[in-house]
């Protein structure tokens, strides 16, 4: 295993539930380090760009509308095997199937309102981090 970085998004549903602090605590308690973090709000166009890989899927419009419906918290997480570790901490996409101790079990509602997003690979983590954070914002933070 090696030190990796991954992207975390705390979605509008979790932000609305005031769960941001609790989710960040679960992340840091898992051993992952938050090395960059900010609150933002995506436009529909930005959400369409971020989720372009899903453009042909039937849920694309609902997903992009939801992700642009309110504030989000985006973070760069760092740690040993961070991509896999964070995906395990999130739990499955459908919150109704998420096991005890996962973020989605604790704060998600269903398959759409599932509290968080995380990169699915190291390659996508780089793309996703670069989508939200400029080189200047990350300068000196990431080795």
Other CB atoms within a 10 A radius of the CB of residue 31 amount to: 11
Pick the catalytic residue from 11, 85, 104, 117: 117
Annotation says 54 is catalytic: no
User: What secondary structure letter does DSSP report for 77?
Assistant: E
Task: Enumerate the β-bridge partners of residue 6.
Answer: 77
The residues near 39 (Cβ < 8 Å, ≥ 6 apart) are 71, 72, 73
- 118 phi and psi angles, rounded to 5 deg: -145, 145
User: What secondary structure letter does DSSP report for 19?
Assistant: -
Quote the tokens at residue 47: 């959400």
Residues forming the active site:
117
């Amino acid at each position: 295993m090696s030190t990796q970085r991954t992207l975390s998004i705390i979605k509008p549903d979790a932000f609305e539930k005031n769960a941001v602090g609790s989710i960040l605590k679960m992340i840091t308690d898992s051993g992952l380090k938050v090395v960059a973090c900010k609150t933002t709000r995506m436009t529909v166009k930005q959400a369409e760009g971020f989720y372009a890989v899903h453009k042909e899927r039937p849920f694309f419009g609902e997903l992009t509308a939801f992700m642009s419906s309110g504030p989000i918290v985006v973070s760069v997480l760092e740690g040993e095997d961070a991509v896999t570790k964070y995906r395990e901490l999130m739990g499955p996409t459908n919150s109704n199937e998420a096991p005890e101790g996962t973020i989605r079990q604790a704060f998600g509602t269903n398959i759409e309102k599932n509290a968080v997003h995380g990169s699915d690979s190291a390659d996508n983590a780089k793309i996703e981090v670069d989508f939200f954070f400029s080189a200047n914002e990350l300068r000196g933070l990431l080795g």
